[in-house]
Every structure is written in C-alpha cells, then in structure tokens.
C-alpha cells in the first residue's frame, strides 16, 4: 500500500448554497447522476429501476435513526446536552440495548460537561416520562439513564425525550419533519445516530418498481455512528484514525451474496462498508482461524495478498464459522481509500459528500480519478449536496 495519500488531492470547493438544508417535498424527485464507465447522464431518482443492470442485487442498510440528542437543564439554568453514542455493552446488537427497561448505560458526548459533576443527576420531565441521567464517569462520558414509567423500553423513552441528530454541517435545529424525513422508508432496527442518507431517496413505489424487474433486494444493518462526521485532520489521509461501527449480518445475507452471476450494488457507503468488511472477515478466518468479527482499518492492506480467497470462498468461510447462529454481530473500522481493491461491490448508490472526507476517499477509491468529473459536473448542473442532497449511481466497471 502507498505510504501517503495527500488529503488536498481529494478536496474541492463546495459553495454553501450547494448544501441542501432541507429535503425535497418528494423523496424520489431528487436528481440522479448516472456514471457508467466514464460517461455521465442525468436523471431523476425515480428513474433508478430502469438503470439497474440485469441480474442486480441491491443491499440496503435497514438501521433506524434514534433521537439521540437529549437536552437537560440544571436548576441553575445551565443547559447540558447528552448525545447517545453507543451502549456500554458493545457486543449486543444496539437494537436490543434500545429495548432495555428500567435503566440503561451508554457512552455519550456531553455538551457543557464542566457544569455536570461526576455522580450528579439531571432530570427531564417530558412526554409523560421522567428521565434521570447520572454521570458515572466524566472522562469517558459514561451515563446511566433511569426512567418512570419503568416498564417503557429505552427506545420509546428517547423517542419522547430526544430530538433528531442532524449532521453538524446543516447548522440548524431539527424540526418535526426531520423525524420522518431523516429516516429511510425501510428503516427497521433502532441504533443509528446518523441516517444512511443514500436510502433517503427511496419510496415504496421505487422499491416496488425495482422488485418488478426481478432485482434481488436484501437488507443488512450497520448502525451509523457519530464518527461518520469526524473530519480528517491530517494532510496524509493514512494517518487518520477511522471510527468503528457495529454491523449485523444474517445467514440469509450470505446466502444471497452466494447467488451465482449477480452484480452486487450497495445502497450507500454504509452498505458498502458492511459488504466489504464481510469479505475481509472471511479472509481473516481462512488465513488465521476462528476469531471475533472485527475488521480493522488496515486489515485489507495487511493480509497476505498471495492467499486471498475468492468472494465465494470468503462467504462460505463466514457461513461455516456461524454454525447454527442466525446472525453475526461485529464491528468494522474499514478504511477504503484510493488503492483499495474492492472484493464485493460493483455498483454504488450514494449522495455527494464533503470535500476531504473519508466518504470522499471511498468514492475516489471506487471510481478512480473519475470522481473529479462527477463532482465538477454535479456542481455545474446544480445538484444539491450532502445528507439531504441529490444522488448518484456509480457503475465504474464493465
């Protein structure tokens, strides 16, 4: 692997007026830039079903955004924001942690932390719930929540007490509309603190039209973490410390991946990260034997390239390792940068990303220098950028 990737090579000027602050009235009316083998065409997102290659399999991320931002006010009037990051027990699926009753412990980020002493309790009465937050450890921002009525699940508690965690670059507070619009129509498992935004353009009608073309659709889960917005602060992008996110894949996902002669298309960078991580986990099992489902940011670059398995061999290895288990819970901090060799995905549906971000590097890794033409054309023709912006469908190969 190369020793340096200059971040400045993957930046571009993004005018503020190109950033979409709000979603369009109709999800599938967004623009869709179709990039295929170096050629660009312009469409609307509702045209996607007709653009899919024959024998395509689409993988969607069915995580559901939780209202992770909770505002407390001390008796002194000081406001303290508690932002849920992840449950203390990272080995169980986040959606199960969201079903906890009586109490829950989470690692958080805390705004105005200096005003909250270790052991101190904050109380919020809202929506018929009395929610208490106690700071157990300031250094790690470990918070214990308890509530009444205690029979309610934590998911319902935060639904009533929290607000939608919009991306920081939108520079606005969440409104009532964001509760539904910053959520995919197929979201299912509670746990994300940011939406898998490529999926925001899909409507029930678009999904039905895709299904009518005999395209296979499958759903896996990556609970998007706040680290997705973490900027790269080093000029050498390889010095960046990639964040880790929980992924959950089922036996059915692997069986679908093993279908013959299918073109695998990832709906969003989170689906792509999950699919590629699954391959590398299979490669690790074959090269080094049984081990936890953990994919590090450098694993794709450090495993023995001379003995890497085929896609099918890797997925069979994971299936064999699962035994009778129906699902695997793991964590990935995979870092896809220019020079990365894609093992699973042949197509990507994704929005337009921030300059010099890890997602920008992922797109550049996937399409090569073509990313410059894609972004230049999108800016020239008035596409809307970032989370609530327009979409692209990238098919760089044959």
DSSP 191-245: EESS--GGGGG--HHHHHHHHHTT-EEEEEEEE--GGGGPPP-SSBGGG-----E
Provide the pLDDT for residue 358.
97
Q: At what angle do helices 370-380 and 358-367 cross, to 10 degrees?
A: 120
Q: What is the pLDDT of residue 337?
A: 97
Q: Where are the alpha helices (DSSP H) in the chain?
A: 48-51, 94-97, 154-161, 178-181, 204-212, 251-257, 269-288, 299-302, 311-322, 358-367, 370-380
Stated pTM of the model: 0.95
pLDDT at 90: 83
Locate the domains of the chain by residue range.
Answer: 7-64+181-395, 68-162
Q: What is the pLDDT along the chain (398 residues), one digit of tens a residue?
A: 678 999 999 999 999 999 999 999 999 999 999 999 999 999 999 999 999 999 999 999 999 999 999 999 988 888 999 999 999 988 899 999 999 999 999 999 999 999 999 999 999 999 899 999 999 999 999 999 999 998 899 999 999 999 999 999 999 999 999 999 999 999 999 999 999 999 999 999 999 999 999 899 999 999 999 888 889 999 999 999 999 999 999 999 999 999 999 999 999 999 999 999 999 999 999 999 999 999 999 999 999 888 999 999 999 999 999 999 999 999 999 999 999 999 999 999 999 999 999 999 999 999 999 999 999 999 999 999 999 999 999 999 86
CATH of 68-162, one of 2.60.40, 2.30.29, 2.40.10, 3.20.140: 2.40.10
CA atoms in the 13 A half-sphere facing the CB of 265: 28
The domain 7-64+181-395: what is its CATH number?
Answer: 3.40.1780.10
pLDDT at 3: 83
């Amino acid at each position: 692997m190369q020793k340096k990737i200059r971040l400045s090579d993957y930046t571009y000027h993004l005018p503020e007026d190109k950033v979409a602050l709000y979603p369009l009235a109709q999800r599938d009316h967004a623009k869709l830039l179709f990039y295929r083998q170096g050629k660009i065409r312009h469409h609307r997102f509702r045209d996607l079903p007709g653009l899919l290659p024959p024998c395509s399999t689409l993988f969607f991320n069915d995580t559901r955004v939780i209202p992770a931002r909770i505002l407390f006010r001390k008796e002194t009037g000081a406001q303290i924001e508690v932002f849920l990051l992840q449950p203390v027990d990272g080995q169980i699926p986040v959606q199960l942690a969201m079903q906890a009753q009586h109490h829950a412990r989470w690692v958080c980020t805390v705004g105005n932390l200096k005003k909250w002493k270790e052991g101190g309790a904050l109380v919020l009465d809202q929506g018929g719930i009395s929610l208490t937050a106690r700071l157990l450890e300031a250094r790690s921002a470990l918070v214990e929540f308890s509530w009444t009525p205690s029979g309610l699940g934590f998911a319902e508690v935060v639904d009533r007490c929290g607000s939608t965690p919009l991306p920081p670059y939108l520079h606005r507070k969440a409104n009532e509309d964001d509760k539904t619009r910053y959520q995919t129509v197929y979201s299912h498992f509670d746990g994300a603190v940011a939406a898998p935004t490529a999926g925001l353009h899909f409507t029930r009608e678009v999904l039905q039209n895709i299904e009518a073309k005999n395209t296979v659709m499958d759903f896996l889960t990556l609970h998007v973490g706040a680290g997705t917005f973490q900027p790269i602060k080093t000029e050498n992008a390889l010095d960046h410390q990639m964040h880790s996110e929980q992924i959950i894949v089922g036996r059915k996902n692997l069986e679908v991946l093993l279908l013959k002669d299918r073109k695998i298309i990832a709906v969003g960078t989170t689906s792509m990260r999950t699919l590629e991580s699954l391959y590398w986990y299979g490669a690790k099992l074959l090269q080094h034997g049984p081990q936890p489902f953990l994919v590090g940011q450098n694993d794709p670059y450090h495993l023995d390239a001379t003995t890497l398995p085929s896609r099918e061999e890797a997925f069979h290895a994971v299936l064999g390792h699962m035994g009778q288990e129906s699902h695997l819970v793991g964590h990935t901090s995979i870092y896809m940068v220019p020079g990365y060799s894609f093992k699973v995905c042949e197509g990507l549906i994704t929005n337009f990303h921030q300059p010099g971000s890890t997602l920008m590097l992922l797109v550049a890794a996937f399409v090569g220098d073509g990313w410059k033409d894609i972004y230049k054309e999108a800016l020239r023709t008035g596409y809307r950028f970032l989370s609530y912006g327009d979409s692209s469908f990238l098919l760089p190969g044959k």
